């Protein structure tokens, strides 16, 4: 994370997923880190990660067992587990939804909210409830992000469907609580560079958590260039915190847009079709007055177009996109 430059680009959490603990708790009912994977324990790992200027995330489940069934869940152990995580120096909790005894997630997830608040440590709370009970409508009082979709796969159809499912809930995201259409597949090999660029652009515009899902030790130059594009990341991290959304659709040709701080607007021209096409975003679709003159910054070409008025057009390849920030003059 540090040596590749990803940490410098703003990525700060290193998150451990399922299967980090032994199958059984200890005699006091505490989690036991898996001895052969974490021989020094989790606190030593957290201390090391913190020494690099990064934060450590961990995984548990709002059920009696995790999704792999390889380790115990936290249902009924919320206070104890939150205190354990805090004592280890954990900064982020992904909280899954398997083996949940049929109890409503609106009952299970807030118990961990209180436990984390009582733990004495600020811990980012990521609800992984798969969007089953429309968490966008209630989870802002419960956690910091919530999955709006099922798990993503490393292919075009999965990625585009997650984008569309997440888009439905755009109005519910705001600072402190974010819609999460699942992690980034960029660099895992199942899509083209252009498809991955589209994936990263839409996730950034949607203010989704940007969770790298590839092996950063062996990522290609193209993968690194996508994941570390500071201009696209800046859209994702914009202080206004408004989720951009799909504002126009003409067959497979789409315009996605959203407001940014300082009266700027982010725009994506996305070609989901099989042939190169011209796509136009009209000011009337993206919240600008028709007479407004803007400076248009192309975030992937790193070029500025001065004085655009009324609309912006581009020729866009199959499954590719163009992404701009428009600054009114």
Determine the pLDDT at residue 239.
Answer: 97
Q: What does 170-226 look like in DSSP terms, one character per residue?
A: GGG-BTTBEEE---B-TTSSSS-HHHHHHHHHHHHHTT----B-S-TTS--HHHHHH
CATH number at residue 265: 2.60.40.1180
Tokens of 56: 């450590």
Q: What is the DSSP letter of 227?
A: H
Q: What is the DSSP letter of 244?
A: P
Over residues 167-191, mean pLDDT: 98
Determine the pLDDT at residue 313.
Answer: 97
Shared-domain flag, residues 133 and 156? yes
The answer to whether the beta carbons of residues 186 and 222 sit under 8 Å apart is no
Q: Is 17 a catalytic residue?
A: no
Q: Report how far residue 173's alpha carbon sits from residue 241's, in angstroms, rounded to the nearest whole number.
A: 8
Shared-domain flag, residues 323 and 262? yes
pLDDT in tens, 130-153: 999 999 999 999 999 999 999 999
Shared-domain flag, residues 190 and 264? no
Determine the pLDDT at residue 306.
Answer: 84
Shared-domain flag, residues 287 and 324? yes
Produce one character per residue of 212-224: b if its CB has 16 or more CB atoms within 10 Å, e if not: bebebeebeeebb
- Which of the following is catalytic: 96, 154, 167, 182? 96
CA angle 101, 105, 108 (to 5 degrees): 75
Residues of the chain above pLDDT 90, percent: 98
Mean pLDDT of the chain: 97
pLDDT in tens, 239-263: 999 999 999 999 999 999 999 999 9
Counting Cα atoms < 13 Å in the Cβ hemisphere of 115 gives: 22
pTM, full prediction: 0.97
Q: Is 182 a catalytic residue?
A: no
Tokens of 192: 């083209």
**Domain assignment of residue 301, given as a range:** 245-328
Question: Which residues, 6+ apart, have CB-to-CB distance to 233 below 8 Å?
Answer: 9, 10, 204, 210
Indicate whether 183 belongs to any domain: yes
Q: Hunting for tokens 């202080």 — which residue is that?
A: 239
Indicate whether 300 belongs to any domain: yes
Shared-domain flag, residues 220 and 266? no
């Amino acid at each position: 994370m540090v040596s590749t430059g990803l940490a410098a680009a703003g990525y700060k959490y290193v998150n451990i997923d399922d299967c980090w603990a032994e199958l059984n708790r200890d005699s006091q009912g505490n989690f036991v880190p898996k001895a052969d994977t974490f021989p020094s324990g989790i606190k030593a790992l957290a201390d090391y990660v913190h020494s690099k200027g990064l934060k450590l995330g961990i995984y548990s489940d709002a059920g009696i067992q995790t999704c792999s069934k390889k380790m115990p869940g936290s249902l009924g152990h919320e206070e104890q587990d939150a205190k354990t995580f805090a004592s280890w120096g954990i900064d982020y909790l992904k909280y899954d939804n398997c083996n949940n005894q049929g109890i409503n997630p609106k009952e299970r997830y807030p118990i961990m909210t209180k436990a984390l608040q009582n733990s004495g440590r600020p811990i980012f709370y990521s609800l992984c409830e798969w969007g089953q009970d429309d968490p966008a409508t209630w989870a802002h009082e419960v956690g910091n992000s919530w999955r709006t979709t099922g798990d993503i796969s490393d292919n075009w159809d999965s990625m585009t469907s997650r984008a569309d499912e997440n888009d439905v809930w755009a109005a519910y995201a705001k600072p402190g609580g974010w819609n999460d259409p699942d992690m980034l597949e960029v660099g895992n090999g199942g899509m083209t560079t252009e498809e991955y660029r589209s994936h990263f652009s839409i996730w950034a515009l949607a203010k989704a958590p940007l969770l790298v899902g590839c092996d950063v030790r062996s990522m290609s130059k193209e993968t690194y260039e996508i994941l570390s594009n500071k201009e696209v990341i800046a859209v994702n991290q914009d202080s206004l915190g408004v989720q951009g959304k799909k504002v126009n659709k003409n067959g497979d040709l789409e315009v996605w847009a959203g407001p940014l701080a300082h009266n700027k607007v982010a725009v994506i021209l996305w070609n989901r079709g099989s042939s190169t096409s011209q796509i136009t975003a009209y000011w009337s679709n993206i919240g600008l007055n028709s007479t407004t003159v803007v400076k248009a910054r192309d975030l992937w070409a790193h070029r500025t177009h001065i004085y655009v008025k009324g609309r912006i057009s581009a020729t866009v390849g199959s499954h590719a996109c163009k992404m701009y920030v428009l600054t009114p003059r």
